[in-house]
Amino acid sequence: MANILVGEYLQKFCKDKALLRAHNDITAEKKERLALFFEKVDIKDIDLTDAKSLSHSIERLRATASS
């Protein structure tokens, strides 16, 4: 979470003066295991398309749980 917040800050205030690295996508095997886990714990609407969509899905889930 700290890395995401720092990245968002740098992107917003430093624009072209910062070089940000994106993490690689997770493997198909890990996506399958995650999908099974989310299914078992009855969590829906998790997008496993790529690392970014997974991150956004988890962030939405976190925001929903804390409200």
Q: What is the pLDDT of residues 12-60, one digit of tens each?
A: 888 778 777 777 788 899 899 999 999 999 988 899 998 888 888 988 9
Half-sphere exposure in the Cβ direction for 37 (13 Å, CA) = 8
Mean pLDDT throughout 2-20?
82
DSSP class of residue 16 equals G
Q: What is the pLDDT of residue 32?
A: 93
Number of domains in the chain: 1
Quick one: tokens of 52? Answer: 């970014």
CB 35 within 8 A of CB 48: yes
Inside any domain, residue 7 = no
The residue range of the domain holding 47 is: 24-67
Inside any domain, residue 8 = no
Q: What is the pLDDT of residue 21?
A: 73
Among 29, 20, 22, 21, residue whose Cα is nearest residue 48? 29
Inside any domain, residue 38 = yes
Global pTM reads 0.58
Q: What is the pLDDT of residue 36?
A: 94
Inside any domain, residue 12 = no
Widest distance between CA atoms in the chain: 44
Inside any domain, residue 63 = yes
Inside any domain, residue 45 = yes
